[in-house]
Amino acid sequence: MRDYRKLQAFQLSNQLALAVYAATRDFPKDELFGLTSQMRRAAVSIGSNIAEGAARSTEKDYLRFLDIALGSSLELEYQITLSAQLGFLNSDTQEQNLRELSTRTSKALHGLIQSYRAKH
């Protein structure tokens, strides 16, 4: 079994999930079951899929879960953009922090996926 906790992609995804939870605390209450919930689910999905994939016995299964994590990461990138456009983020700094973490997470996942594909 792979130790997902050592992966940069997982560490970044965890930071991103924490940042998303902090940012969405101040979203309008009528978004609790809308954008707030979707962003939180996407953020948690990234790290969850990295962890679940690490427990899989085949490289093919592992890569499938990493691909799902990357999809969730890109989904979250759009949701960050939308929430900024709607004025839900508290500051430009908060938006910039979320965007940076999201981009770094996506890049780390993409790199991890590419390195596994190159080996196999």
In sequence order, which residues have a C-beta less than 8 Å from that of residue 28 and are 6 or more positions away?
88
Q: Is the pLDDT of residue 43 over 90?
A: yes
Specify the pLDDT at position 87: 95
**Gap between the Cα atoms of 64 and 56, Å rounded:** 10
Helices (H), 1-120: 8-24, 35-54, 59-85, 92-119
Instruction: For domain 4-119, give the CATH number.
Output: 1.20.1440.60
pLDDT per residue as tens digits for the range 14-42: 999 999 999 999 999 999 999 999 999 99
Tens-digit pLDDT profile for residues 91-113: 889 999 999 999 999 999 999 99
- Predicted structure pTM score: 0.94
For 11-22, b where at least 16 C-beta lie within 10 A, e where not — what string?
bbbbebbebbee
